[in-house]
């Protein structure tokens, strides 16, 4: 330790606290108090000499919180987890190197623009499954391995028309050489599926995201029941591959208009064998699957997975209301009918990081208004059926119109899907943007 310094290193952690409805929020609201305490204890455990971890008042970089500054170097960091704290202590304080991924730039007061994890893949093959569904296989242009994924995962495809659309991965998660997609042409849609059918050709390179999974298998379940409708077979087919590699009981119920309308029929037969039950209704749902009978008596530790049209999903969830909490899982390709019945009113939003107050008119979504203000926010479905535009809700009460948040998350009022959800009457929403 230097002769003229009591401590060699000073770490100042912002623990400033503001009112819950303050438009800039604060580091304390984002967990800085707990993280500072952990940093102090961890520094002792690591026997770091001559260090003082201090509480600090507002450091005036609230939009980037939690944040800290280390002196005498004057290096600023944004940190959010205990792992971040460990890395700062071990690499910066002990090792003498900078943790560049966490460093704040001089003068930076707003979050850095979103950096999307994307990859360019080649269309290896396209085969027609039904009149409206195509099977598309993607591979690495250099023949390398693709990013791993788990059963139930999807990737986003970035179309040349500027759209971003999600497609479930249908192949065996053990495969690393390809991604298999099933794409339903929706003539009345926003144009993503039409572009995939009309413009994508074999040998073409397209940009996609890394795999994301909001619809995973419950690893500890004793039994799995899977219900697919039409194109909803894609994530469940991947689940079949994964379940077949283990020692667990499972059954697939596949619903379609006819055998000719059942996409991936040969794959389903190969993967599920005698564990698949076919339900062909001829276009009349009343003649299809008997959901009451299928879902009436769940066994202990049984989990249910549903993917398909909104009508099938709503009916299946209604018949499974008596199942234990957390045992029913679903993936939507379109919003349910209720999502079309909401009435819109104008309301205000406060963007805590960008220090803006904006009005959301009745004919626009929060997402549209935020983008109109020049703020980049990721989105995909824009129908409230994926997780891409999930945003922290720091104040105000939302009218949750999405179909991905749990009842507990909706009641907690700490997160919102800004593509569909709005403010409750008379409320101003404070967003972590």
How does DSSP assign 281-298, residue by residue?
-TT-GGGS--HHHHHSSP
Region of 375 on the Ramachandran plot (φ > 0 left; ψ -120 to 50 alpha; else beta): beta
- Asked if 269 and 300 sit in the same domain, the reply is yes
Distance in angstroms (rounded) separating the CA atoms of residues 389 and 405? 12
pLDDT at 332 over 80: no
pLDDT recorded at residue 304: 97
- Mean pLDDT of all residues in the chain? 90
Domain containing residue 61: 9-102
CATH code of the domain in which 78 resides:
3.40.30.10
Distance in angstroms (rounded) separating the CA atoms of residues 139 and 115? 23
Q: What is the pLDDT of residues 388-416, one digit of tens each?
A: 899 999 999 999 998 888 888 899 999 99
| Residue where a domain stops, chosen among 334, 368, 386 | 334
Domain count across the chain: 4
- Asked if 233 and 330 sit in the same domain, the reply is yes
State whether residue 175 is helix, strand or coil.
Answer: coil
State whether residue 319 is helix, strand or coil.
Answer: helix
- Asked if 93 and 158 sit in the same domain, the reply is no
**Is the residue at 3 inside a domain?**
no
**Is the residue at 112 inside a domain?**
no
Where are any strands of DSSP class E within 72-204?
75-78, 118-128, 133-139, 154-158, 164-168, 179-184
Q: What is the pLDDT of residues 151-163, one digit of tens each?
A: 999 999 998 877 7
**Is the residue at 417 inside a domain?**
yes
Q: What is the pLDDT of residues 80-108, one digit of tens each?
A: 899 999 999 999 999 999 999 899 988 88
Q: Which residue has the higher pLDDT, 334 or 210?
A: 210
CATH code of the domain in which 281 resides:
3.40.50.80
pLDDT at 62 over 50: yes
- Asked if 347 and 328 sit in the same domain, the reply is no
- Asked if 248 and 290 sit in the same domain, the reply is yes
- Which residues neighbour 7 within 8 Å (Cβ) at sequence distance 6 or greater? 1, 50, 51, 52
pLDDT recorded at residue 163: 79
| Residue where a domain stops, chosen among 209, 232, 251 | 209
Q: What angle do CA 214, 218, 223 make, to 5 degrees?
A: 135
- Asked if 172 and 270 sit in the same domain, the reply is no
**Is the residue at 408 inside a domain?**
yes
- Asked if 412 and 367 sit in the same domain, the reply is yes
For tokens 């549209």, what's the residue? 368
- Asked if 230 and 306 sit in the same domain, the reply is yes
Contact criterion met (CB below 8 Å) for 391 and 415: yes
pLDDT recorded at residue 2: 43
- Asked if 293 and 320 sit in the same domain, the reply is yes
| Residue where a domain stops, chosen among 312, 334, 356 | 334
Distance in angstroms (rounded) separating the CA atoms of residues 154 and 327? 21
Of the ranges 130-144, 304-318, 382-396, which one carries the lowest mean pLDDT score? 382-396
**Partners of residue 332 on adjacent β-strands:** 308
**Is the residue at 409 inside a domain?**
yes
pLDDT recorded at residue 3: 47
Of the ranges 94-98, 227-231, 337-341, which one carries the lowest mean pLDDT score? 337-341
Cα 294 to the chain's mean position, in Å?
30
**Is the residue at 27 inside a domain?**
yes
pLDDT at 167 over 90: yes
**Is the residue at 163 inside a domain?**
yes
How much of the chain, in percent, has pLDDT values that exceed 70? 94
pLDDT at 72 over 70: yes
Cα 61 to the chain's mean position, in Å?
27
- Asked if 39 and 92 sit in the same domain, the reply is yes
Where are any strands of DSSP class E within 18-101?
51-56, 67-71, 75-78
- Asked if 171 and 264 sit in the same domain, the reply is no
- Asked if 23 and 64 sit in the same domain, the reply is yes
Q: What is the mean pLDDT of residues 194-223?
A: 92
**Is the residue at 295 inside a domain?**
yes
How much of the chain, in percent, has pLDDT values that exceed 90? 66
Where are any strands of DSSP class E within 67-178?
67-71, 75-78, 118-128, 133-139, 154-158, 164-168
Distance in angstroms (rounded) separating the CA atoms of residues 72 and 75? 8
Distance in angstroms (rounded) separating the CA atoms of residues 278 and 110? 54
């Amino acid at each position: 330790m230097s002769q003229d310094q009591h401590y060699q290193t000073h770490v100042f952690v912002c623990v400033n606290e503001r009112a819950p409805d303050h438009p800039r929020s604060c580091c304390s609201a984002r967990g800085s108090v707990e993280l500072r305490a952990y940093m102090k204890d961890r520094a002792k455990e690591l026997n770091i000499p001559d260090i003082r971890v201090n509480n600090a008042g507002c450091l005036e970089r609230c939009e980037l919180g939690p944040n800290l500054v280390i002196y005498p170097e004057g290096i600023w960091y944004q940190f959010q987890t205990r792992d971040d704290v460990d890395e700062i202590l071990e690499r910066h304080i002990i090792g003498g190197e900078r943790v560049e991924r966490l460093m704040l730039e001089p003068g930076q007061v707003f979050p850095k623009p979103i950096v999307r994890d994307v990859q360019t893949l080649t269309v290896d093959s396209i085969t027609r499954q039904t009149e409206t569904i195509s099977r598309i296989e993607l591979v690495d242009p250099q023949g390398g391995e693709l990013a791993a994924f788990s059963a139930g995962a999807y990737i986003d495809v970035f179309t040349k028309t500027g759209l971003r659309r999600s497609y479930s991965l249908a192949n065996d998660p053990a495969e690393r050489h390809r991604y298999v997609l099933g794409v339903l042409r929706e003539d009345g849609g926003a144009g993503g599926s039409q572009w995939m059918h009309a413009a994508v050709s074999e040998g073409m390179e397209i940009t996609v995201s890394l795999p994301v999974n909001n619809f995973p298998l419950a690893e500890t379940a004793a039994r799995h029941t899977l219900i697919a409708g039409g194109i909803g077979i894609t994530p469940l087919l991947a689940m079949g591959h994964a379940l077949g590699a283990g020692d667990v009981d499972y059954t697939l119920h596949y619903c379609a208009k006819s055998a000719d309308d059942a996409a991936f029929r040969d794959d389903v037969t190969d993967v599920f064998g005698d564990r698949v039950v076919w339900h062909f209704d001829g276009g009349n749902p009343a003649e299809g699957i008997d959901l009451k009978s299928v879902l009436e008596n769940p066994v202990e530790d049984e989990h249910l997975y549903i993917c398909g049209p909104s009508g099938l999903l709503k009916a299946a969830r209604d018949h499974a209301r008596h199942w234990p909490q957390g045992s029913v899982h679903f993936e939507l390709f379109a919003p349910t009918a209720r999502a079309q019945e909401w009435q819109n009113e104008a309301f205000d939003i406060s963007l805590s990081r960008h220090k803006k107050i904006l009005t959301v008119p009745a004919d626009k979504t929060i997402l549209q208004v935020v983008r109109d203000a020049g703020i980049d926010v990721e989105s995909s479905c824009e129908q409230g059926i994926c997780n891409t535009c999930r945003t922290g809700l720091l104040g105000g009460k939302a009218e949750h119109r999405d179909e991905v948040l749990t009842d507990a998350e909706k009641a907690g009022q700490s997160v919102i899907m800004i593509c569909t959800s709005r403010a409750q009457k008379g409320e101003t929403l404070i967003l972590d943007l």
